[in-house]
Amino acid sequence: MKKVNLAVVGATGMVGRTFLKVLEEREFPINDLYLFSSSKSAGKKVTFAGKEYTVEELTEDSFTGRNIDIALFSAGGSTSGKFAPIAAANGALVVDNSSFWRMDPEVPLVVPEVNPEAIKEHKKGIIANPNCSTIQAMLPLKALHDKYTIKRVVYSTYQAVSGSGVKGVEDLEEGSKGNPTGFYPHPIAFNCLPHIDSFLDNGYTKEEMKMVNETRKILCDDSIRITATTVRVPVKNGHSESINLEFEKDFDLDELVATLAAMENVVVVDNPAENLYPTAAEFSDRDEVFVGRIRRDFSVDSGVNLWVVADNIRKGAATNAVQIAEKAIEMELV
Strands 126-128 and 45-48: unpaired
Judged by CB under 8 A, the stretch of 30-38, 70-78, 109-117, 186-194 that binds a copy of itself is 186-194
**Which are the contacts of 282, defined by CB distance < 8 A and separation ≥ 6?**
none
Distance of CA 262 to the CA centre of its chain: 21
Of the candidate residues 36, 204, 247, 290, the single one contacting a copy of itself (CB under 8 A) = 204
The Cα 216–Cα 123 span in angstroms is 20
Check the annotation: does 136 bind a ligand.
Answer: no
Reported for 46-54, long-range contacts at CB under 8 A and 24+ positions apart, including other chains, are 46/11, 46/12, 46/20, 48/20, 48/23, 48/24, 49/24
Of the candidate residues 13, 16, 168, 292, the single one contacting a copy of itself (CB under 8 A) = 292
Contacting a copy of itself within 217-256 (CB under 8 A): 225-227, 229, 231, 233-236, 240, 242, 244
We find the least distance from the C-beta atom of residue 272 to a copy of itself, in angstroms, to be: 4
The Cα 91–Cα 152 span in angstroms is 40
Distance of CA 20 to the CA centre of its chain: 16
Site string for a copy of itself, 250-289 (x = CB under 8 A): ----------------------xx-x-x-xxxx-------
Are 309 and 239 spatial neighbours (Cβ–Cβ below 8 Å)? yes
Judged by CB under 8 A, the stretch of 28-36, 94-102, 179-187, 325-333 that binds a copy of itself is 179-187
The Cα 326–Cα 323 span in angstroms is 5
Of the candidate residues 194, 220, 221, 223, the single one contacting a copy of itself (CB under 8 A) = 194
Any idea which residues carry the catalytic annotation?
Answer: 132, 239
The Cα 186–Cα 182 span in angstroms is 7
Interface with a copy of itself: number of residues (CB under 8 A):
53
Write out the binding residues for NADP(+).
12-15, 40-41, 162-163, 312
Write out the binding residues for substrate.
159, 232
Query: Given the rule CB under 8 A, which residues bind a copy of itself?
Result: 152-154, 156, 158, 172, 176, 185-187, 189-195, 199, 202-204, 225-227, 229, 231, 233-236, 240, 242, 244, 272-273, 275, 277, 279-282, 292-300, 303, 305, 307
